[in-house]
Each structure stands twice: as C-alpha cells, then as structure tokens.
Structure 1
Amino acid sequence: MLLTKIHQIMTGTHVSADAGEPQRFLRHFASLAATKLADGLIDPKLVLAWLMGALGAPGYMVGALVPIREAGALLPQILLARWIQRRRIRKYFWAGGSLLQGLAALGIAFAALTLDGTPAAWVILLCLAILALARAACSASYKDVAARTLAKGSRGTVSGAAGTVAAAAVFAFALGLSFGILPLSMTSISIAITVAGVLWLAAAILFVQLDEPEAEPQTNSFEGFRALLGPLRDDTEFRTYILVRGLLISTALAPPFLVMLSHAGGERELGNLGLLMVASSLAAITSSYVWGRLSDRSSRWTLAFSGTAAAVALGGAAMIGLLTGGIGGQWMAALFIFVAQIAYEGVRAGRKTHLTDMDTHGRKAIYTALSNTVIGTLLLAGGGFGLLAEVAGPSVVLAVFAVSSAFGAMVALKLGEVQQR
C-alpha cells in the first residue's frame, strides 16, 4: 500500500496499471537517482576539468574530456543495439553498464590520489573512455526496458523526479565547496568521485532485480547497413526527431563557451568550481521534475519551449559579449549557465520521452542506437566550434548556438503528439 501511495503521489494518478507498477516505478526511480547523482559528482565539464588542472595535466588532455565522454557514450550504441535486440531480458545491459561505470569511477579516484601530471591524466582519460562505453550500454537499453516496465505517462516523470533528487544532492555538495564547508582539494574531489563509483554499483544491484517481462527477440534487425539506416529512410517522424535533436545539441555544447566569455581560465576558473556547480545543479533542481511532467503531456512542446529558452539565453549572452567583450564576470557566467542548464534539462527530458513514446514498430533499441550514433557524430564535429572560438571569439559561437536552438524549437512543432496516440 505504501509503494502504491508513493507511486500515485509522484505520478499524479489514482490507480496503477497493475499491482507491480509501483514497485517497478520506484526501482527505476532509485536506480536513476543514484546514477544521475553519480553523473553530477563526476561531471567532466567541471569536476574532471578541475581535477586534471590540479594534477598539472596538459591542456590538450583537459580538452579531450568532453569529447571522450559524450561521443564515447553515443557512437557505440548502434553496435550494442544488435545484441540488445536479440535478447529476451535486457535489464542486464543497463545493470552491467552501471557496474562498469562504477569501477571506472573508482579507477579515476585511485589515479587522482596516487599519480600526478601526465601519467594520472592518461589513466583518467582511459577510465573515462571505459565509463563512456559502459554508459552507451545503459543508454541503448534503458528506453526499451522502460517502455516495457513503466506505463505511458510515468516515464518522463520518473526521470524528472530522479533528476531533481540527484540535482539537490549535487547542489548541497556544490554549496559545501562554495562556502568552504568542504575543502576544494584533491582529496575531497577524489572522495566525491569514489562516492559516485559506489552509487553506480548500488544502482546496478537495484536494477538487476527489476521485474522485466520477456521481449520478443529481433533476430533480423541488423542484417546489413541498409537495415540499420531503415528508420532514417522510412520514418518521417524519426527523421524530424533527429533533425530537432541535432539542432538542439547547442544546449549541451554552450556552457564551456559561456565560461570562456566570462574569463580566460587559470586559477580564477578553478576557484569558481563550486559556484558553477551551484548554478548548474540549482537549474536541474528547479526544472527537471517540471520538464519531466510536461514531456509526459507533450514532448514536442517541451522541446519547443526549451529550444526557445536556449535561443533567448544564448542569444542574450552573445549580444552582451559582442558589445562589451564579456558577460560581467563569474556571477553573470553562473547566471547564464543557470538559464542554459534549464533549457538543456528540457531538451533532454523532451527528447528522451518523445523517443520512448514514439511508435518504433517494436524496434526501440534500433531507433535509440541510431539516433545516438548520429548525434554522437555531430558532437565530434562540434569540436570544431573550439577553433571557431579561437578565430572569432566565443560570442560568435554562442550566436551560432542561439540560431541553432531557435530553428530546433521551430522544427520541434512539426513532430507528432506521440503522447496522445
């Protein structure tokens, strides 16, 4: 009865689809909350970048963190989907991926505490690559498992609620760093990364106990390259979804350029770690659950609203930067990161829920893997924006991102209302 009541409060429903729904919902919630908190504690854009800088790693290795993390988590999914579609029980892919992420995080913490300089950086990058590949297994399998174990109308909610809880914990950690309650030291950051590793291990144990019904194996889903590209060729809704998601990757790429516009790095940037984490986690706290609930009602409007918010925020930062050469220091940088992160949370909730609820003709894992492979390739190409920033300045890059976000919002309105089908 208690599980049922908690499920009803979180989803806003008065009856469950079946007796096992509340337990499955809460197992999803606990697993996602643990992994999302782990993600926040090991954030490559902020935490690992600070850690590498403190270790004295070369600049080019620090710059490799985000491409390894983002592209490594997306590009392998098209291959992983082949294995996933052939299995009747698919929760083991997610649980195994979470297990490997935990071990990789523990490896990063060990390297930070026992090594220094370039050797430590190489070990951290290697562990991050393993973590990214393991994350690919989780991403490629989760939507398929969620679609078969959670009722429509609760999938975005569980992700949004887990994101809010995790963001609150990261926010508390960031406040501790900002106000000196926790020392901004190698040891404290390494302990936080160790906690992240333990959380991933715990999530694996939780998720492997999920009551998952058997799926029908898709043995002929990957007979050739043309079969892999079939959804892009045959499904108009999916092509539009890919276009929207590609245009809105600007929300993921923007934060480093906002920081770059504020100042040129160095010790000052390292000292701002707590403040920037506060801004990022506060945005997630205030928006994740709301975006999740909205995406369960209309994922296309969620994408349109969040794309518009990104266009306004990034366009405003670009305009200020072009007029003044900066955005007013660390506090203004934190403000723009706050707004950009709110938009990013909306894009993430909208795209995940849209793909989960969209009719994929029984090929959920293929659609997920194909979309992530395309976006992973675009993210690798997005490394070229760093060169553009060197030549023309970060304000120009942010202006490009603002235009991309605006177009993404407009194209999102062409998507179908998949929650009403």
Structure 2
Amino acid sequence: MTSTARLYQALVRADRDDQDLEEQRSTGRNGLLQIAANTLQATGDQVVNAKTVLPWALTAVGAPAAVLGLLVPVRESGSMLPQAAMSPVLQRSARRRHFWLWGAAGQAVSTAGMALAVAGLTGWAAGVAVVLLLGVFSLSRSLSSLAGKDVLGRTVPKGERGQINGLSTLLSGAVAITLGLGIRVLGGDEVGVTVLAVLLGAAAGAWVLALAVYAAVREPEGEPVEASDQEGWVTTSWRLLREDAPFRRFVWARGLLLVSALSPPFVVALAAQEGETSLAGLGPFVIAQGVAGLVGGRFFGRWADRSSQRLMTGAAAGASVLVVAFLGLHLWPATRGTWWLYPVTYLLLALAHTGVRVARKTYVVDMAGEERRTSYVAVSNTAIGVLLLVVGAASSALALLGPVAALVFLAALGLVGVGVARTLPDVSKG
C-alpha cells in the first residue's frame, strides 16, 4: 500500500473490505487531492466573505451603504441560480473535472480584480466594481460547486464523502483562525485598505494553487447523457421536482433551514445597537468562523457519513433554539448588552451552520444515483437560490421593524424546516 493510501486511511474511517488494493490507492489519492483543493478554496472563501471581509473593504474605501446590501444576495444566489442551466452541459461530458478547473480559474481572476479595485478605487466606483466582480466570482463558483460534488461521488465511495467535506472545513477553519489573529494583531479594530487588498490578492493565489492540485484528480470516465431535444432545463428541472417526492422534500427542508445562514448578520446588528464593542473589529468575525470549522469539521463530517439526515435536522434545530434563547437573553434586562452574549451567539450559529452545510452537501450526493447526481445538485441549488431570494427579501422587510422581528421569523421558519427534514429518508451508509 502506498504512503498516500495509508495517510488517507489514517484520516478517513471507512469499511474497505469491498475494495481491492488498486481501488484503495485510487480512492486515497483522489480523496487527499480533493481535501487539499477544497481546503485551499475554503481558505479563499474566508477572505471573499460577503458577511465580513468584503463589507469591511468597501466601508474602508468609502462605498455607499446601498452597495453593501447587494453583497450577500449576489454572492449566495449567484452561485446557485445558474446550476440547473449548467447541468445539461456537464452531463454531456464524459469527465467533469475540467469544469471545476474553469470555475477555480474564474474565482482566482475575479478575486484578483477585487484586490485591484480595493487598492485603486474609492466610493461608488470601488463598490460597483467589487459587486460586478463578485457576480463573476459567484458564477464561477456555481460551476465548481456543481462539478465538485459530481467528481466526489465518482471518485470517493459512500461512507467517506462527509469526512472529505468535514476535513476540508476543519483545515480551512484552522487557516481562518490564523488569519483572524493576524488581522487582529496587524490591524486591530481598524484594518487598512492595503491589508485588505493584500488579503484579497492572497485569496486569488489560493485558488491558483487549488486549480493546480485539483488538476491531478483522476476521474473515471462516465457515460455522457444526451440532452433531450424536446425539453429545456426549466422543464426538466420542474419535472424532477414534481415527480421525485424525496428530492422535493429535501429541497423544501434545505430552503426552510436557512436560519443558520441568515441569522448572524442580525445578531451583529443587535450588538451594534447595544454599543457592543467586542465585535467591532474584523478579526473576531473571521476567528469565529474559523473556530466553528475547526471544532465542527471533523466531528460533523463523520456524523454526516453515519446519518446526514439526522445531522441536518439536529444542527438546524439547534440553530433555531439558539436564536430563540438569544432573543430571550437579549430582551431580558439583566443580560441585555452583556459583552459575551453577541460573540458567543455568533460563534454557536456559525458552528450550527457548519453542521448544516456538511450534512446537506453529503446528503444530496448520497441520495442521488450515478445518473441523477448532477441533476440533483444543480436543481436543488437553483431552487435554493430562488428560495434564498424570497426568504432573504422577507427577513429584510421584517428587519425594517427591527432585527428582533427578522430573527423571530427565521427561528420559526427553521423549526418548520426541522419538521420537514425529519421526514427525509436516511440515505447514508450508517
């Protein structure tokens, strides 16, 4: 057995009795390469973050608040909405690895452009440039996301995929903590434009390295799926949602479980209203995201391989209960405005979101057969992109009444989603 296979087996627990030696070598090599590439990509994501670094960067260059409000919708929806349209193109290809590489290249180029925009522009010009480049970034990410799940399903057997996602999350979390501490030491509460531009440039470099690593993945050749001449991707996607009840329930559950993704900004807004200074700097936000990945990545990855359905349900239920508890403490005079309430809540929500993300990524790959994997990933992400816009618009409208109203709405939505998620079949290896 090669050293690569031994290292992989030391990191990933699995029953390999049904694999011969050559299959173990191939799985180990491909698994390690995907862990490394996904870690580099996730490291870049810690910088190109629409909730932390990018708002700080645009604020530092004097971009208007109207532009800041576009960051999260462009980043999240842009990476999901196009996937159903992209799916037929991928399915006609015998190999899908090169689509991931094109997506990584697009993310590297657009991130480098953001670095130049932050370094050389100010005001509206900087804001518009960053948002447009973020749109290119998100479209590129949608290609990598769609292809990556398909390649993972082809190269790594069920029972190990959740651990691949979890290890990548754990390693990127360690990088994020280092990054956050570095920002805190170098910039304190006021991070300058030069530091932010350098961070974005380094993130672009991370995608270049990820591209080089992922290029070495050896994907088995699959049977191309010829697209129907009579049906477009809209009709095909709608028919899949209408006829496949378990898949439809997964999409509804995932859409209703956005509580962990959309709640953190409102927690920060309440902290700002209370004059809480412990979240004033950029560093603590990045550190909190990193701690969540470091603590939850490995644990959630193994849990997802045992039962991604139970992990998705439990993590989302925890996020909803956490929001309710936070609101109670925030409204109670004895604890309102205390220094620990807001950063601890932010950290725990980030941890819950890590569990939800690892679970739903593993679930959709495990539930799909070889022929439907690309369609499942693409259609679910496009549908979630639409639901994200709807839920985001509703929570933003309620936020006009105050962050508390938005958080009540999201917690209630999450609890409904938990009920739906409990009805999903358990598709994991166990």
Which TM-score tier does this pair reach, normalised by the shorter chain? over 0.9
1:210 pairs with 2:210: no
User: Which of 166, 171, 195 is matched with 1:188 structurally?
Assistant: 195
1:420: how far off? 3.6
Aligned to 2:162: 156
Distance 1:303 1:397, change over 3 A: same
Alignment of 1:67-216 (within 5 A): 67-180=73-186, 184-216=191-223
Q: Which amino acid is the alignment partner of residue 357 of structure 2? A: R
Indicate conservation of the 8 Å contact 1:240/1:415, yes or no: yes
Report how far residue 360 of structure 1 moved: 4.1
Matched, 1:321 2:327: no
Can you list the C-alpha shifts for 1:164-189, whole angstroms capped at 9, x where unaligned? 11111111111122244777211112
Distance 1:137 1:330, change over 3 A: farther
Deviation at 1:33, TM superposition (A): 0.4
Q: What CA RMSD, in Å, does the superposition of the two structures yield over aligned residues?
A: 2.2
Structure 2 equivalent of residue 237 of structure 1: 246
1:150-205, Cα deviation, whole Å (9 max, x unpaired): 11111111111011111111111111222447772111121111111011111112
Aligned match of 1:387 in 366, 375, 397?
Answer: 397
2:226 to 219, 224, 232: 219
What is the distance in 2 between the residues matched to 1:330 and 1:45? 21
Summarize the alignment of residues 262-411 of structure 1 with structure 2, pairs less than 5 Å apart.
262-264=271-273, 271-324=280-333, 327-328=336-337, 331-360=340-369, 362-381=371-390, 382-391=392-401, 393-411=402-420
1:74 and 1:372 in contact (8 A); partners too? yes
1:274, 1:221 → 2: CA distance? 51
Percent of counterpart pairs with the same letter?
31
Larger mean Cα displacement after TM superposition, 9-18 or 403-412: 9-18
User: Helix, strand or coil: the match of 1:319?
Assistant: helix
Q: Would you say how many aligned residue pairs link Structure 1 and Structure 2?
A: 420
Indicate the residue corresponding to 1:7 in structure 2. 8
How far the C-alpha of 1:330 sits from its partner, in A, is: 5.8
State the distance in 2 between where 1:54 and 1:76 align. 31
Q: In 1, are the aligned partners of 2:162 and 2:301 still within 8 Å (CA)?
A: yes
Partner Cα separation in structure 1 for residue 226 and residue 349 of structure 2: 42
With structure 1 as the length reference, what TM-score do the two structures score?
0.94
Instruction: Provide the C-alpha distance between the structure 1 equivalents of 2:55 and 2:228, rounded to a whole number of angstroms.
Output: 40
Deviation for aligned residue 1:405: 1.8
Distance change in 2, residues 1:378/1:65 (3 Å): same
Counterpart-to-counterpart distance in 1, 2:421 and 2:288: 27
Q: Which letter maps to 2:202?
A: V
2: distance between equivalents of 1:400 and 1:221? Answer: 42
Aligned partners of 2:77, 2:338: CA distance in 1, in Å?
31
Q: Cα distance, 1:49 vs. partner? A: 0.4
State how 1:250-265 maps to structure 2 within 5 Å: 250-264=259-273
Q: Does 1:38 align with 2:44?
A: yes
Distance (whole Å) between structure 1 residues aligned to residue 338 and residue 55 of structure 2: 20
Deviation at 1:412, TM superposition (A): 1.6
Question: Which region of structure 1 is more displaced relative to structure 2, 249-258 or 272-281?
Answer: 272-281
Deviation for aligned residue 1:326: 8.7
Of the three residues 403, 414, 418, the one matched with 2:427 is 418
Q: 1:383 to 1:326 in 2, by over 3 A?
A: farther
Residue 295 of structure 2 aligns to a residue whose secondary structure is: helix
Q: TM-score, normalised by structure 2?
A: 0.93
Distance in 2 separating the partners of 1:264 and 1:54? 21
Mapped to 1, the partners of 2:290 and 2:416 lie a distance apart of 27
Counterpart of 2:8, as a letter, is H
CA distance in 2, matches of 1:138, 1:265: 40
Instruction: Tell me, in whole angstroms, the C-alpha distance in 2 between the residues paired with 1:269 and 1:61.
Output: 25
Mapped to 2, the partners of 1:344 and 1:160 lie a distance apart of: 13
Amino acid at match of 1:9: A
5+ residue gaps in structure 1?
none
Structure 1's consecutive aligned runs of 4 or more residues displaced over 6 angstroms after TM superposition are none
Conserved in 1, the CA contact under 8 Å of 2:162 and 2:358?
A: yes
Contact 2:274–2:337 at 8 Å: present in 1 too? no
Give the partner amino acid of 1:96. Answer: W
Deviation at 1:409, TM superposition (A): 2.1
| TM-aligned CA deviation for residue 325 of structure 1 | 11
Distance, in Å, in 1 between the alignment partners of 2:254 and 2:41 is: 23
Alpha-carbon distance in structure 1 between the residues aligned to 2:336 and 2:403: 11
C-alpha contact 1:280 1:338 (8 A) present in aligned 2: yes
How has the CA–CA distance of structure 1 residues 78 and 13 changed in structure 2, closer, same or farther, with 3 Å as cutoff? closer
